[in-house]
Chain A
Amino acid sequence: DIQMTQSPSSLSASVGDRVTITCRASQSISTYLNWYQQKLGKAPKVLLYAASTLQSGVPSRFSASGSGTDFTLTISSLQPEDFATYYCQQSSNTPLTFGQGTRLEIE
């Protein structure tokens, strides 16, 4: 199985801050990497797919990059609605696997 490791596991930040979350795969996954946002009690929602493509309707303050084994998700200017848990997910090989999540909290 491909292991996905996110860092940090939790992060405190303020509205307007720029934040970056990293995701590392245990082997190369090319650009088969997706990012999801999950709010408490809700299903995850895709933000970006194929490492850097913004899903329709997602604000442009979200961006992502990477290929191979190292990936990043950046939120350029945090908004109140961005406080949530973020997951990376690889779709290169089955079993499909997720990172453990990064909980983004208000500072």
Chain B
Amino acid sequence: QVQLQESGPGLVKPSETLSLTCTVSGGSISGYSWNWIRQPPGKGLEWIGYIYYSGSTNYKPSLTSRVTMSVDTSKSQFSLRLSSVTAADTAVYYCARKTGKPYYFDYWGQGTLVTVSS
């Protein structure tokens, strides 16, 4: 059974960089795209972007200037960095695996709340 687990600081100061890691267990990181999705408190889901196991990326255009994703296949981990954060970036951040065609999120992490506050 594939499992994903997010880790990282739960509190980030405004203007600083949010950094999260997702560890994949129970399956290979190869052959899939690995996604970050966030959900502000009480609101809906927002896709941030994905990284393939090969390292190629695709980010939401409105976040491209602030987002960097990376993958470490040797550790079965992928990471998110979001720079210059503001209170609007406060959210539960999920990592999720996206299948090949027809492309859906079949496995999700439990989510981690990141609060942006001084």
Q: Which residues of B are found within 8 Å of A36, using beta-carbon distances?
A: 105
Q: Is the CB of B94 within 8 A of A43?
A: yes
Segment 67-118 of B: residues with Cβ below 8 Å from A: 94, 96, 98-99, 102-106, 108-111
- Contact mask A56-85 → B, CB, 8 Å, 1/0? 000000000000000000000000000000
Query: Counting CB contacts under 8 A, is B46 at the interface?
Result: yes
Structural contact, B45 and A91, CB atoms closer than 8 A:
no
**For the complex, what is the distance from the CA of A2 to the CA of B74, rounded to whole Å?**
36
Q: Which residues in window 41-85 of B have CB below 8 A to A?
A: 44-47, 58, 60-61
**Chain A contact patch, size range:** 20 to 34
Instruction: Among B61, B96, B104, point to the contact of A91 (Cβ < 8 A).
Output: B104
CB distance from A55 to the nearest CB of B (A): 8
> Which chain A residues lie closer than 8 Å to B94 at the CB level?
43-44
- Contact string, A78-102, partner B, CB cutoff 8 A, digits 1/0? 0000000001010100111111110
Query: 8 nearest interchain CB pairs?
Result: A91-B103, A43-B108, A49-B104, A50-B102, A34-B104, A96-B47, A98-B45, A95-B60
B interface list, Cβ under 8 A from A: 35, 44-47, 58, 60-61, 94, 96, 98-99, 102-106, 108-111
